[in-house]
Chains A and B, each alone.
Chain A
Amino acid sequence: MTENTMAKPQKFFLPNAYPEPAFLKLESLACSRGLRLLFEGVSQTLKAGEALALYGANGSGKTSLLRQIAGFLPLAAGTISFGDTPPNAVHFIGHADGLKNALSVGETLALDAALWGAPDTTTDLLPLLGLQNRAWQKVADLSAGQRRRLALAKLCLAPRPLWLLDEPMTALDTAGQELIDTLAGAHLAAGGLIVASSHMPLAFATKEIVLGAPA
């Protein structure tokens, strides 16, 4: 980590503490895609303020495990227990960022706020995400890293105790990676949980699962 003196965001949107003590318990999970068994016997428990890193080769099932926790994918075996039911307690940030090319950055943030039931805080969010002076730019004209930053906005807009991040550092520059570390740090300090897949060591992770190579 380079000691870049990036101005720390003045205002944080994340709460000081999440209302309910959060936990996440994965018990001997298995996942199959088609006829192939991706992984089995995956168990781990996270308490409030803990972050789990998922490591493993391409195709080892990192994304599938995240999608299982989000409730998208059915479990082939095992159980997931969590304080609240997924739809209202989880943020999922995947490779497909869900951004609309026809909208501008400012419109995206304003609409995101409405979609996640949050007040419109575009003017505060733009500098936080490092997208100041970009409000009028079309999303289609953003770079991969800038799109990634814009996709992070929902983390700040709607506070939710569990963040599922699929390779969050992809395409981000040093400042962008620090932004994720800062956001993750504040989220964990408030008692939130994170499960993140990655190919590089994550500074904020307190536990890890290494998924085996595909059989």
Chain B
Amino acid sequence: MSVFWAICRQHMVLAWRGGHTTLAVAFLFIGVTLMPFGLGPELALLQALAPGLLWVVLIMALLTSLDRLFQADYEDGSLDQMMLMPLPLELVVLGKLLGHYMALVLPLLLAVPLAGLLLNLAPAHLPMLLLAMLAGSPALVLLGGIGASLAVSVRRGGLLTVLLSLPFYVPVMIFGAGASQQALAGEIDETRLAILALLSLASLLAAPVAIAAALRNAVR
């Protein structure tokens, strides 16, 4: 088990030192700051669109970080070593995904309240929005990992990773933004939250196996 946490810790340290955390959070803020310029300064309109916009920007920020998941390990030979570690490859992969979640998604979620403020979102709307993001974001990392692992042996595979992950993201996006929209009405959308959690749990079961298989194929 300590091996699992070591993998998780290594990924977090490298994501932080490589500046990926800062880049993702900066991307989120840049996206949100530009919205009022594009949509006009009408406060009611911004508030009505805020949940959907925040989901889009969150997913875009996450997509930019996906090609860092396994690409560097493939290039520097760490992937070979991951195959031989005293832990099944599926769990090694899960450790890396957890590290990615903690190093990138959690800082993004922490930045969402401030970003929401820029879009005229009231503090009362935040709990529901964050709850939906918390329920859906594990699926984003897990499913994105599938795209990243499939494109790992392609040099400069970032665009391919994004294209491969995007179809997986659509259901999460639909239910996530839908649930968040209800936040504006002050309601708790239990159905959509349950579906988001289900998507996350299902991808938790499927993604490590799929990613490990793709990585085994990549080290050939």
Contact = CB atoms under 8 A, between A and B. Distances in A.
Nearest to A64: B220
A67 B83 CA distance: 11
B34 to A, nearest CB: 31
B76 A102 contact: no
Contact of B7 (A102, A103, A115): A115
Interface of B: 2-3, 5-7, 9-10, 13-14, 17-18, 73, 75-78, 80-81, 83-86, 88-89, 219-220
Contacts of A99: 76
A117 interface: yes
Interface string A107-118: 100010011110
B18 A72 contact: no
B86 A117 contact: yes
Contacts of A115: 3, 6-7, 10, 81, 85
A87 interface: yes
Nearest to B219: A72
B76 A98 contact: yes
Interface of B is mostly: helix
Given A72-B220, A73-B220, A111-B10, A100 B84 contact: no
A180 B17 CA distance: 32
A92 B2 contact: no
Interface in A89-107: 90-92, 94-100, 102-103, 107
Interface of A: 67, 70-74, 86-88, 90-92, 94-100, 102-103, 107, 111, 114-117, 154, 158
Contact of B81 (A73, A88, A98): A98
Interface of A is mostly: loop
Contacts of A98: 73, 76-78, 80-81
A45 to B, nearest CB: 23
A80 to B, nearest CB: 15
Contact of B77 (A73, A97, A102): A97
Given A103-B14, A103-B17, A116-B3, 8 more contacts: A72-B220, A88-B86, A92-B80, A99-B76, A102-B14, A107-B13, A115-B3, A117-B2
A114 B3 contact: yes
A182 to B, nearest CB: 23
Contacts of B85: 87, 115-116
B9 A111 contact: yes
Nearest to B73: A98
Among B78, B81, B89: residue with most chain A CB under 10 A: B81
A96 B75 CA distance: 8
A205 B6 CA distance: 35
Nearest to A88: B86
Nearest to A110: B6
A88 B86 CA distance: 6
A154 B85 CA distance: 11
Nearest to A115: B6
B84 A87 contact: yes
Contacts of B80: 70, 72, 92, 94, 96, 98
A107 B16 CA distance: 15
Contact of B83 (A87, A103, A117): A87
Contacts of B2: 114, 117
Contacts of A97: 76-77
A111 B5 CA distance: 10
The 8 closest A-B pairs by CB, nearest first: A96-B77, A114-B6, A98-B78, A98-B77, A102-B17, A98-B81, A72-B219, A117-B86
